[in-house]
Amino acid sequence: LDVQTSDLIVETLAGKLPDKIIHALKPNESRTAELYGLPKTHKPGNPMRPIVSACGDPVDKLSWFIERIITQLLILVPAHLTNTYDYLQHLRTRFPTGLPPGAIAFTVDVNNLYGNIPTAEAIEATITMLRNHSSKVDLFGLTIPDVKKLLEHCLENNYVRFGAKYYKQTHGIAMGSRIAPPLAILFMNAVETRILASDRPQPALYLRYIGDIFGIWTHGSQSLDEYCSLTAVH
């Protein structure tokens, strides 16, 4: 994979980036990513959350480079939150005198977001955003097809070691990969854009921190239950 990744980097980036940067992005004495687990102590039975330690794997430096490009898109995602202060600022701006009578603050957690993301759809969502906002993103001399090719390479070569055995992840995005958070945010943006564009009652405020959704509902509790049920189907 080292040779394959190096060849792709040279083929794609030659003449577009300085040679010293191309050389720095090529894998050198890399290692296979390692899989380990962190216990979810807040859940019954303490199930394990699988984490991939991808630092130093063959596509790690290439993933870092792609992450520098696609992270620029996050500011263009309407629901994206960066921290708690950002959330509170949205609340103050939308409801300067406080929540309206009967308003319901709700939260929704996306189940196993990284593991359930279809990689092809995540790539398409990212590339669509790049096309729609190309004038606002520094591609560092690359074309959008270049970014797509490199992104596909990173997501199609997720090899990990667990103990003495080696595996390839064929579905979802590895938690621990540098590009996992921005890809998850951009994929969720594509999903929620379709949902929020429907003609049924919508939240008065809808915000999200990666897979944790925060909202304000002003249409009554029953309609909120119905809305969440219909959203879950999507």
115 or 187, higher pLDDT? 187
Cα(79)–Cα(106) distance, integer angstroms: 15
* Whole-number Cα distances in Å, 110 to 63, 73, 169, 184: 24, 21, 20, 11
Would you call 185 exposed, middle or buried from its count of C-beta atoms within 10 A (0-12, 13-18, 19+)? buried
Residue 62, pLDDT score? 95
Collapse the DSSP code of 81 into the 3-class scheme (helix H, G, I; strand E, B; otherwise coil) and give the result.
Answer: coil
Mention every residue, 6+ apart, whose C-beta is less than 8 A from residue 230.
Answer: 200
Cα(58)–Cα(77) distance, integer angstroms: 30
Collapse the DSSP code of 119 into the 3-class scheme (helix H, G, I; strand E, B; otherwise coil) and give the result.
Answer: helix
User: Does pTM surpass 0.85?
Assistant: yes
Mean pLDDT value of segment 85-102: 94
28-86: per-residue pLDDT in tens? 888 998 988 888 888 888 888 888 888 889 999 999 999 999 999 999 999 999 999 99
Residue 233, pLDDT score? 44
144-155 helix and 2-13 helix, angle to the nearest 10 degrees:
170
Residue 46, pLDDT score? 84
Collapse the DSSP code of 88 into the 3-class scheme (helix H, G, I; strand E, B; otherwise coil) and give the result.
Answer: helix
Residue 232, pLDDT score? 58
Residue 171, pLDDT score? 85
The overall average pLDDT reported for the chain is: 91
Cα(98)–Cα(38) distance, integer angstroms: 39
Mean pLDDT value of segment 176-198: 93
Cα(226)–Cα(202) distance, integer angstroms: 11
104-136: per-residue pLDDT in tens? 999 988 888 998 999 999 999 999 999 999 999
Q: Within 10 Å of residue 178's Cβ, how many Cβ atoms?
A: 21
93 or 227, higher pLDDT? 93
